Amino acid sequence: SKRNAGEPEFLQAVTEVAESLIPYIASQPRYKNSKILERIAEPERVVIFRVAWLDDKGEVQVNRGFRVQMNSAIGPYKGGLRFHPTVTLSVLKFLAFEQVFKNSLTGLPMGGGKGGSDFDPKGKSENEIMKFCQSFMTELYRHVGDDVDIPAGDIGVGKREIGYLFGQYKRITGTFNGVLTGKAFEWGGSLIRPEATGYGLVYFVEEMLKDREETLVGKKVLISGSGNVAQFAAEKCINHGAKVLTMSDSEGFIYDPLGIDLEKLEFIKELKNERRGRIKAYADHFGCEYHAGEKPWKIKCDIALPNATQNELALADAEMLINNGCYCVAEGANMPCTPEAVAAFNNARVLYAPGKAANAGGVAVSGLEMSQNSLRYSWGREKVDHKLKAIMTDIHHICVKYGKDEQGHINYEKGANVGGFVKVAEAMLSQGVV
C-alpha cells in the first residue's frame, strides 16, 4: 500500500478483491508462485496529460487527462472515460482494476482500462464541451486504437462527447474505425448500448430472484441516480411489473409512493438528457416528496439499486435497508456500497451483487459494438438484447459456481472476484512473466 499512498479508492477496491481472492489463491500454488495477484494490482501503463483549451470568454483553461491501461491479458484495454471534478488517479485506478474482472466475466475478449478528466461538463456550453473533447483527444489518440485500447462513456461522457472525441480521432488519424464505443447508431454505434447497463442490471436481478422463485412483479424498488444507468434500469423494472419509488441526483432524491411510471420516466429523461435540469423539478411537477441533500435508502423497499456513484451507500444506509426488509441489492454504479455496507448485507444474508457482475451489461454490449464494427455490420435490437440477456445469465452462473457456500447462500462478490480472476490469471500464466 506504500506504493499507492494517497489512493484510497484504489486501495479500497484492491482490498475488497484481495479478501476473496487470497483464500482461493492459497489453494492454487501456481497463481501464488507466479505472483499473479501482485501483478494484476499494478497497471500495465498509466498516461497522465495536460488538457488546455479556450473557453467562450477566450480564457485558457487547464485540466488533467488520464488513461489507465490496467490489463491486456485477454484482449485490448477497454473501459470508459469519466469527466467529473471528483476524478483523480486513485478513482480511475480503482475503476480500471474493477473493469479487468468485469470484462473477464462477460466472456468477451476485452482487457481492462479506464480514463477521464477532472473537467466538469456542468454549466459548460456546447462549444466548450467540443473544445475540451478535441483537446483531450489530441493527446489521447496516440495511446488508443481499435486493437489497442477502446474507450467508452461513463459519468459525464455520453453520446455527444463520444461524437466529438471520435470526430477528432478521425481527423488526426484519417481512419474510421471502432476506436470508441457508445457511438450514435447512425455512425457505428450498437442498438441497445444506451440501455445495456440498466437493462442488464435488471436481467441480473431477475436471475437472483429466480433462486427464491420470485419475479419483479409488485416489488418495491429504490433507484439512486437519474443518469444513463438509472433511467434504463427504471424503464426495465417498470416494464417487468416492479414499482420504482425513488430516483436521485447529486442534490437530493424524489420519492413517489405511487411509483414512477413510463410517462413520468419520460419526464426524467427529457429533464436530465435534454434540459440538463435537477431531479427536484420532478417533485415540483408531479407533486411528490423531495429530500434535499439526502440519499433514498431510508425508504421501505424490497430491492435497492444504487446507480449513481462510488461510496453512495454506507453502513448506516445498509442497516436502514435491512431493518426495512430490503433483501436484494444490486449495484448499477461502480462500488456504490462501502465495504462496511457490503459486510452488513452479507451478514444479514441479503442478496448482494457487486457492480462488476451486475453492471457488466454495458461493457458487454460495448464488446458487441466492437464485433459489429469489425464486421462492418449492425445487428438488430432483438439480437443484441438476446445476447445481453444470455451474457447476464452466464455471469450469474459464474457467481453461483464460485460463490455458493455450504449453507447455500450465494456470495456474489466472492463469485464474481474469483470467476473474473481465473480467466485473466490463466492468460497471464500462459503469456509468461510480463
In the complex, the residues that contact ligand NDP under the rule CB under 6 A are 86, 153-156, 197, 225-230, 249-251, 307-309, 312, 332-334, 359, 362
CB of 209 to ligand NDP, least distance (A): 21
SS3 annotation, 258-322: CCCCHHHHHHHHHHHHHCCCCCHHHHHHHCCEEEECCCHHHCCCCEEEECCCCCCECHHHHHHHH
Q: How far is the CB of 395 from ligand NDP (least distance, A)?
A: 13
Residue nearest to ligand NDP (CB): 227
User: What does DSSP assign to residue 143?
Assistant: G
User: From CA 168, how far away is CA 191, in angstroms rounded?
Assistant: 23
Q: Select which of 114, 183, 220, 387 is catalytic.
A: 114
Amino acid, res. 261 = D
Main-chain phi, psi angles of 290, to 5 degrees: -125, 130
Would you say 29 or 123 has its CB closer to ligand NDP?
Answer: 123
Judged by beta carbon, residue 9 or residue 37, the one nearer ligand NDP is 9
In the bound complex, what is the minimum distance in angstroms from residue 87's beta carbon to ligand NDP?
A: 11
Residue 194 or 415: which CB sits closer to ligand NDP? 194
**Closer to ligand NDP at the Cβ: 84 or 138?**
84
Select from 157, 151, 333, 152 the least CA-distant residue to 248: 333
Smallest distance, Å, CB 295 to ligand NDP?
8
Q: Which of 427, 337, 368 is nearest to 16 (CA)?
A: 337
Q: Residue 276 class from Cβ within 10 Å (0-12 exposed, 13-18 middle, 19+ buried)?
A: exposed
Contact indicator for 355, 335 with CB cutoff of 8 Å:
yes
Q: Which is nearer to ligand NDP, 36 or 365 (CB)?
A: 365
β-partners of residue 62 are: 52
What the block records as the C-alpha cell of 128 is 466548450
Give whichever of 144 and 330 is closer to ligand NDP, judged by the CB atom.
Answer: 330
Kindly tell me which of 193 and 220 has the beta carbon lying closer to ligand NDP. 193
Q: How far is the CB of 56 from ligand NDP (least distance, A)?
A: 22
User: What is the smallest separation between the CB atom of 404 and ligand NDP, expressed in angstroms?
Assistant: 25
Q: How far is the CB of 32 from ligand NDP (least distance, A)?
A: 31
Long-range contacts of 46-53 (CB under 8 A, 24+ apart): 46/89, 46/93, 47/140, 47/143, 48/89, 49/139, 49/140, 50/139, 51/117, 51/119, 51/132, 51/135, 51/136, 51/139, 52/135, 53/128, 53/131, 53/132, 53/134, 53/135
- Concerning whether 114 is annotated as a catalytic residue, the answer is yes
Give the CA angle between residues 414, 78, 229 to the nearest 5°: 70
Q: Which residue has the cell 476506436?
A: 179
User: What's the grid cell of residue 115?
Assistant: 480514463
- Whole-number Å distance between alpha carbons of 279 and 226: 8
The catalytic residues are 114
